Amino acid sequence: MQTIKAAVCHEFGAPLVIEEVTLEAPKMGEVEVEIEAVAICHSDISYQQGGFGGQLPAVYGHEAAGIVTAVGEAVHGIKIGDSVCVTLIHACGHCTTCQSGRPTICETPVDNFEGGPIKQDGKPVMRAMAAGAFAEKVVVDQSQLCVIPADIGKDVAALISCGVVTGVGAAVFAADIQVGQDVVVIGAGGVGLNAIQGAVIAGARRVVAVDMLPEKLEIAREFGATDVVLAEGKPWAEVKKILGRGADAVLVTVGVAQVYDQAPRYLGWGGKVVMVGMPHGDKVSTYSPLIMANQGQAIVGSKMGDMVIKRDIPWIVDMYKQGRLKLDELISGRYRLDEINDAIESTKSGTARRNVVILK
């Protein structure tokens, strides 16, 4: 048992508090990682606001990178000193979904509270999203890690752990974009920019970015959007003018229920809406089953881009090293751990691509 600093949430909607917590040593199949960088994801904010539920106190953070400092028994392919991406993808490897090649939706429950490694004054602290990476160190299952080259900056590597795999994977795997198809990406934040890059990699004919902020649309062009549309009035009508028909795929990367109401309006016959952004749990959306059934359309969910991290993170790293994937440009700001509430407020403003907390 060791003492570390972490940003702890004691009350939903309240600022995080930098406090000391204790961290248990890694058990069988677990790995201890010293966190060097962790990015602020909107999912962290939704949890902090109480939109996803969960126990308190809690330590959030799941988009991280660092150095392995200890390993438990039966850990394979990971050793002390390795540079790693730390993800929330806890995969048992033996349930139906894992065995079907979909580890991001592993069905095996994990006790991240009573049975988790984080304690404070002898009482459990929630290891949110199986990570709890707003802290100096984490203990996670080996399935959540992917070894990366030591020369990749940890600030950039942290982004790969969630925002990049989620966006790129949503385009390449969940949407299954084919060469020559037309794609709409709603939301030009961190995940949306990666969805745009993923659509380009997949060979889309046109990639249309839709957002409420003109400055974010200009950034979307830098990441590969061929066209941009301001989200006011009836943006789906403008998109259809650009494409000459509806889109083959619409990737919704913002967690706003109203946007999901509108998303099918962008589709062409046979098109697909991919749900990436996650609204709070009490929010619902509506659509016309008649139109979607008649036009052969679909709505599918995508968690973490349907990625298999040990297969796909090395691919993403290689694309970055070749200059075919922008990652450095995703970082809007760098903060210390004691500035984490400022990083969160900046992210909530909607203007940031990705804010990163640097711990070392």
| pLDDT class of 352 with cuts at 50, 70, 90 | confident
Amino acid at 329: E
- Judge whether 171 lies within some domain: no
- Judge whether 68 lies within some domain: yes
The answer to whether residues 187 and 283 belong to one domain is yes
Q: Look at residues 172, 186, 181, 185 and name the one whose alpha carbon lies nearest to residue 315.
A: 172
The rounded distance, in Å, linking the Cα atoms of 201 and 311 is 17
Write down the pLDDT at residue 360: 84
Q: Which of 301, 321, 343 is the last residue of a domain?
A: 301
- Judge whether 168 lies within some domain: no
Q: Look at residues 297, 285, 193 and name the one whose alpha carbon lies nearest to residue 245.
A: 297
The answer to whether residues 157 and 196 belong to one domain is no
- Judge whether 170 lies within some domain: no
- Judge whether 212 lies within some domain: yes
On average, the pLDDT of the chain sits at 96
Per the CB < 8 A criterion, the answer to whether 188 and 211 are in contact is yes
Give 66's strand partners. Answer: 35, 84
The answer to whether residues 257 and 202 belong to one domain is yes
The answer to whether residues 209 and 332 belong to one domain is no
The answer to whether residues 217 and 336 belong to one domain is no
User: How many independent structural domains does the chain possess?
Assistant: 2
Per the CB < 8 A criterion, the answer to whether 92 and 98 are in contact is yes
The answer to whether residues 147 and 283 belong to one domain is no
pLDDT at 181 over 90: yes
Q: What are phi and psi of 180, to 5 degrees?
A: 90, -5
Sign of the torsion angle spanned by Cα atoms 346, 139, 164, 181 = negative
> For residue 246, what are its two tokens?
């509806």
| pLDDT class of 16 with cuts at 50, 70, 90 | very high
The rounded distance, in Å, linking the Cα atoms of 223 and 169 is 16
The answer to whether residues 310 and 347 belong to one domain is yes
Q: What are phi and psi of 314, to 5 degrees?
A: -60, -35
- Judge whether 118 lies within some domain: yes
> For residue 313, what are its two tokens?
């993170």
The rounded distance, in Å, linking the Cα atoms of 357 and 360 is 9
Write down the pLDDT at residue 49: 95
The answer to whether residues 234 and 294 belong to one domain is yes
pLDDT tens column, 269-309: 999 999 999 999 899 999 899 999 999 999 999 999 999 99
pLDDT tens column, 192-220: 999 999 999 999 999 999 999 999 999 99
CATH number at residue 191: 3.40.50.720
pLDDT at 350 over 90: no
**What is the domain range of residue 200?**
176-301
Write down the pLDDT at residue 351: 82
- Judge whether 122 lies within some domain: yes
Name the helix (H) or strand (E) containing 20: strand 17-23
The answer to whether residues 185 and 135 belong to one domain is no
